[in-house]
Structure 1
Amino acid sequence: MKSGYCARRAGTIFLLVTVLVAGGCGFKTDPVPPASIVPVPIDDLRYNIDDKGVELNWTYPVKTVRGTDLVDISAFDVYRAVVALDEVCDTCPIPFGEPLEVPGGETIEAKKPRTAVYQTSLLRPGHKYFFKVRSRNSWWAASGDSNIVSFVWALPPVAPSGLNAEVADSRVTLNWQPVTSLVDGSAVEGDISYQLFRSDEGKEFEPLGEALATTRFSDSRVSNGRTYFYRVQSLLDYQGHEVTGGVSEAISAAPVDQTPPPPPVGVAAVQTDDGVKIVWEPADEDVAGYRVYRRMAEQRQPELIGEVAAPYSLYVDAQPPATARSYYSITALDQATPPNESDFSREATTR
């Protein structure tokens, strides 16, 4: 009996030791950072290409994934992938390599989120490049991936020159010189197209429609009196891939209202003790005022004798000529700067 008890006790001790040893073994994993310090992913990664290479830029994240404020960023990790054009696969995983570190810093400068910049000239013609960025608060607190940007590198075309704008009523017509050379001065071999960009009242530039094969465009999605900024970029078709070229200098344009209001109606002239009283029917809301004209019987063209601000529609000619009959007509002025003036109304005279 005693020997059986000892055997059972020894077995129990062995099992307990085995469990304790097994519980102390396992694989180590990276620590999971608290959400209060992990930056939100960057969502505005973009690039600019010139003859020297490519410049990436993006906005510093100012919030964590939990929504708390971020005061600074330790660093940014820039990931790059390079694929030969004959090996590009739209459905394959992008072969990003090890990241390059870009120093971080405070997220706010002059009360605005800072912009980070990364430049590289290590580019090979005939290859497609992919980039993405992560921000870090430490080696173990990294954000998710940014949006991915990609481009094909070849010697780019020069920026379009001679960008010009012609303004009209609710319309801006743009034209520029065709691009015929690359940035090294050699002739373009391939089709060139153009991408217009527009900024409304100084806001961020955004693409204006699709790329164009021509050097002229009429923008009718504008409002009179507002200032718009335009620039145009050249695009080269390189072996079936788009190569972005230079961007022109920005120009501004403000379309103007050139449509006059209709002439006033219901004009009548009545002789009173105070002079000749001229009345007419008030016009619509676009009218800012009226001009009153007088013509003598022997005159061919009327003369301006006064102005009336809307909504009033009455004018008194206190000193009409006494020797001949006077004929009165009215024009309407809209609220444009300078105002558009309507045609003359029908003439009215005293009886």
Structure 2
Amino acid sequence: MRPLAALAVLVIALAGCGYVGDPKPPTLDIPLPIQDLRGVQRGSKIILAFTPNPKTTDDLLLKKFETIDLRAGENVSGGFDVNRWANAARKFPVDDVSVGPHEITIPTTGFIGKEVIFAVRSTGPKGRSSNWSNLVTLRIEPTLSIPTGLALTPSVKGIVLNWKEEHTLPNTQWRVWRLVEGEKEPTVLGNAAGASWLDPNAEYGKTYSYTLQQVLKISEQQEAESEITPASTLKFEDRFPPAVPSGLTAIAGIKAVDINWDRNQESDLKSYILLRAEGSGALSPIADLGVTPNYSDTKVESGKKYRYAVAARDELGNTSAPSAPVEITAP
């Protein structure tokens, strides 16, 4: 066979074999470390959360892991050594080996009064484990009691919460949660230093649910929590009348008595109600006025003694008590 013909046959043969280059080494499938481990003590439980890293050291993606290894061990003196810690730490099973977010609950049994280090790692399908995650250190405290006696009281300033202050420790506060009608998740309003809280942002016509938990400040980085109370619910309705008008005066005019008073400051003020009595008689309404704080009473008889008082009414019909009366003799 001629040289050129032989070369052509060789090229065709190689193409038919599907040759694409040198073979690649097998992947190790070692997961990258978990980096977002976090934890909190709530009641008699420790709640740990993390999201396994689906990437491998070969920059490939895993759909699941062979195992997830969660451990908790006491922070002993003499300097921290991860291998010494891991050998002595307690293992907690993680049944879910998917790549999604995880939340694991473990009891405080055996850990109370101790400073405990938590870490987690994942193992790939070929049995090779990642490095340990970020470390979480918690000092485990005796179980905090759940607050009791939560009561809701509507007021002109908002909704007032009160509860019993009992079984508390120094540095204890109460975290207040609120769920507004129509919302899916509650929000934290803040931490109360005592056994009461005012929610000044409640709006009339809406229904609110409140819950509490006791919180113990352990350090700048750590708090322990109680379980959360059952919800207490209230529909916040405007049943609050305007303030009683003040500054009422009566002045003799020309064939009339002129009555003046200080203007109310409520934004929903609708009108004033003027009341009058002759001599020692009972006060009764004589005029349902607008929001102008004065009135001229022309239906008086000269020489007769009159007493006047005024009340304020809002848009919903809530009416204040009458003001202190003033007395005058008609000119």
**TM-score, length of structure 2 as denominator length:** 0.52
Match of 1:294 among 255, 276, 279: 276
**Amino acid across the alignment from 1:22:** V
Distance in 2 (CA, whole Å) between partners of 1:305 and 1:88 is: 86
Q: Are 1:331 and 2:331 an aligned pair?
A: no
Q: Are 1:229 and 2:229 an aligned pair?
A: no
**Amino acid across the alignment from 1:192:** T
Change (3 A) 1:168 1:129: farther
Match of 1:162 among 149, 152, 159: 149
Q: Which residue of 1 aligns with 2:175?
A: 195
Change (3 A) 1:214 1:79: farther
Change (3 A) 1:24 1:99: farther
SS at match of 2:173: strand
Distance in 2 (CA, whole Å) between partners of 1:221 and 1:27 is: 64
Q: What pairs up with 1:4-23 in 2 under 5 angstroms? A: 4-17=3-16, 20-22=18-20
Q: Which residue of 1 aligns with 2:231?
A: 250
SS at match of 2:2: helix
Unaligned segments of structure 1, at least 5 residues: 30-45, 57-77, 90-95, 103-116, 132-149, 182-187
Distance in 2 (CA, whole Å) between partners of 1:219 and 1:270 is: 48
Q: Which residue of 1 aligns with 2:96?
A: 100
Distance in 2 (CA, whole Å) between partners of 1:176 and 1:156 is: 19
Unaligned segments of structure 2, at least 5 residues: 28-38, 50-66, 83-91, 121-135
What displacement does 1:193 show?
2.9
Q: Which residue of 2 aligns with 1:174?
A: 161
Match of 2:197 among 212, 217, 222: 217
Q: What pairs up with 1:143-162 in 2 under 5 angstroms? A: 155-162=142-149
For the aligned residues, what is the CA RMSD?
Answer: 5.5
**Amino acid across the alignment from 2:186:** F
What displacement does 1:315 show?
10
Distance in 1 (CA, whole Å) between partners of 2:287 and 2:69 is: 69
Distance in 2 (CA, whole Å) between partners of 1:223 and 1:317 is: 43
Distance in 2 (CA, whole Å) between partners of 1:47 and 1:256 is: 42
Matched-pair contact (CA < 8 Å) for 1:47–1:55: yes
Distance in 2 (CA, whole Å) between partners of 1:337 and 1:79 is: 64
Percent of aligned pairs sharing the same letter:
15
Match of 1:304 among 284, 288, 295: 284
**TM-score, length of structure 1 as denominator length:** 0.49
What displacement does 1:207 show?
0.8
What displacement does 1:164 show?
3.6
SS at match of 2:310: strand
